[in-house]
Amino acid sequence: MKKTTSSTSKWLFVVLAVLLVGSVAYVPVLAGQTWFVASDVAQGQEEEQRKQDVNTDYQETNRLFSATSERVVYLPLIYTPLISYRLGFGASTGPITRFPEIASLKAGWYYDWGVRANPVRPNLMEYVQTIRVHQQLTCELYSANAHNRAICPYAVPHDYVFSPGLDQIAAAARANPGALWLIGNEMDRRDWPGGGQDETLPETYAVAYHDLYHFIKSVDPRARIAIGGVIQATPLRLEYLTKIWNTYQQRYGSPMPVDIWNVHNFILKETADDYGAGIPPGSNALQGVTYPTDRTHVDMTIFDQQIRAFRSWMKERGQQNKPLRVRGVVLARRVGRLPSGARLHDQDLRLFPEHQRLQPRLSGRRLPAGTAMGLVQS
């Protein structure tokens, strides 16, 4: 979601996510973060293979040794609290532990748009890893004119940068086998003055996804890999995804290996050089979908249509049996700047079908300024 004022991080969003998991819309700008060039990935894969060869030799030796004697290992009983993997949080304004509501809401996962080998896990929540990618530019990312392609065009030949580096990614993959990894975040979002998400041409993103997918799988074959969330399932955005899909097929001779598809499913206008969703990178369109009012972001008819459109797009490519992760859908009305200790009122829950069940737990609850919550409805 495009950040239009300096107070955006202090807005409260109540977020509905459908089918698999949910999250929030706001993502902090990553200015000052260390970015790495695409050529590092191939070198990293060779190093990871060497480490795995050494580890395989050790495992075989250990297996032969263990076979010489019988061993009984008594493991402690571990209590796992009841949590819902259809409920999740995005911690954009600080560590997840700063929110006491986490314990009572019993969400199953959270993320903070980063990569961590040892994330905190309140209530044994799963931590979702996120690698940030971006089209390589001729100027520093998120600098004063980095959004202006006349002043700061894409580097030629086209390539991508990513963050964090491969060592950190590999360490996190080893420490968290089977983790969910997102490759990018809103790659279809063009940068704006002073910031941005992960603006990447669709043809370049296909290469970035290929490289990072195979690197992660080389370290942890059990890892689950998802595309970065596209803003919404409109014709312009589905055209963006089609370019990614076709480029991958043409370049690598096989369908794009996606474990989980991912969409934010906002309902925002698509107009060039304006707030809202904007126009995806690589598109010459000046306008996509538009709405008579910004209040359409709570229109469940449009929400339903977009989900069906995305699912139809998946089916046309043989992906209908894959999970679709829907997150970051803003359903609550904008409440503006929130003072510390603001309360979540009944009217902010009115759009949720299950609001009556949630009302006793959420109504009147004190929330720190900038709190973001995600709710998933199956």
User: Does the global pTM surpass 0.75?
Assistant: no
Beta strands in 202-358 (DSSP E): 224-227, 261-263, 324-326, 329-330, 342-343
- Predicted local distance difference test score (pLDDT) of residue 246: 98
**Which of 112, 114, 121, 122 minimizes the C-alpha distance to 90?**
112
The answer to whether residue 57 scores a pLDDT higher than 60 is: no
pLDDT in tens, 43-55: 777 666 666 655 5
Percent of the chain with pLDDT over 90: 52
Cα 187 to Cα 290: distance, rounded to the nearest angstrom: 20
**Is the pLDDT at 60 greater than 60, yes or no?**
no
User: ∠ at Cα 355 (349, 360), nearest 5°?
Assistant: 95
Q: At 16, is the pLDDT very low, low, confident or very high (cuts 50, 70, 90)?
A: very low
Can you give the pLDDT at residue 79? 52
Residue 56 has pLDDT above 80, yes or no: no
Strand order in the sheet with 107-111: 84-90, 107-111, 126-127
Alpha-helix runs per DSSP H in 25-165 = 40-66, 101-105
Length of the chain: 378
> Residue 339 in 3-state DSSP?
coil
pLDDT, average across residues 146-175: 97
Question: Which region, left, alpha or beta, applies to residue 24 given φ > 0 means left and ψ of -120 to 50 means alpha?
Answer: beta
Least confident span in 124-128, 182-186, 212-216: 124-128
* Rounded-to-integer distance, Cα 84 and Cα 89, Å: 12
Cα separation, 173 vs 118, in Å, equals 10
Note the pLDDT tens digit of each residue in 74-89. Answer: 566 655 556 777 778 8
In tens, the pLDDT along 318-364 reads 999 999 988 764 433 333 343 444 343 333 333 333 333 433 444 34
pLDDT at residue 149, rounded to an integer: 96
Check residues 189 and 25 and name the one with the higher pLDDT: 189
CA-based torsion, 42, 207, 191, 241: positive or negative: negative
The whole-number pLDDT of residue 351 equals: 33
- Mean pLDDT score of the chain: 77
